[in-house]
């Protein structure tokens, strides 16, 4: 059964149809492949371990992707939305504040992580994200 959330699911459903049209893949084969496809690991992936809350993993690597995943109706009404994310060190420092701003607007709580920092200090990367959460759009240098 096809179980992906509606927006990524619609996009994933469109691809086999397009492949079928462009390359002549039999429609039955495309339909069967779609029926077995549950999504790509790390992309709008539900983690179900019997917990009384929803967990969704998504590799949202820019502000637009983070906003789109936080906008999906994945959480029951009147439930808190907690986002756990971080930004890479050594590049794209301007997007950190923007991702923090998205988290500040779209989530009830944000937990900042650090990973792949390269030469940067973890606290510097985290402070840039927190600056965006606090609503200051000026990137911290």
Average pLDDT over residues 40-63: 84
Output phi, psi for 110, to 5 deg: -130, 130
- Could you tell me the two tokens for 87? 């930004």
Task: Go through the chain and tell me how many residues it has.
Answer: 141
d(Cα 72, Cα 69) in Å, to the nearest integer? 5
pLDDT digits (tens, 9 = 90+) for 66-110: 998 888 876 677 788 889 999 988 888 889 999 999 999 999 889
Question: Which conformational region is residue 115 in: left (phi greater than 0), alpha (psi within -120 to 50 degrees), or beta?
Answer: beta
The pLDDT of residue 26 is above 50: yes
CA atoms within 13 A on the CB side of 82: 6
User: Six-digit token pair at 54?
Assistant: 């929803």
- Rounded to 5°, the CA angle 61-44-66 comes to 35
Single pTM value for the model:
0.71
Residue, of 10 and 55, whose pLDDT is higher: 55
Domain ranges of the chain: 1-39, 41-141
Residues 99-140 have pLDDT tens digits of: 999 999 999 889 998 878 888 899 999 999 999 998 865 555
Over the stretch 27-45, which tens digit does the pLDDT of each residue have?
A: 777 777 767 777 778 887 8
Homologous superfamily of the 41-141 domain (CATH): Mur ligase, C-terminal domain (3.90.190.20)
| Helices and strands in the chain: count of H runs, count of E runs | 5, 4
């Amino acid at each position: 059964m096809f179980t992906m959330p509606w927006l990524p699911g619609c996009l994933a459903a469109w691809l086999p149809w397009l492949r079928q049209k462009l390359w002549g893949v039999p429609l039955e084969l495309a339909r069967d492949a779609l029926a077995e496809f549950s999504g790509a690991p790390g992309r709008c992936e539900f983690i179900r371990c019997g917990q009384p809350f929803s967990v969704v993993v998504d590799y949202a690597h820019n502000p637009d992707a983070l906003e789109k995943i936080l906008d999906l109706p994945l959480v029951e009404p009147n439930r808190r939305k907690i986002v756990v994310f971080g930004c890479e060190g050594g590049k794209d420092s301007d997007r950190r504040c923007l991702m923090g701003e998205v988290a500040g607007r779209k989530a009830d709580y944000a937990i900042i992580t650090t990973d792949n920092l390269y030469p940067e200090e973890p606290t510097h990367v985290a402070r840039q994200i927190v600056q965006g959460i606090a609503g200051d759009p000026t990137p911290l240098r």
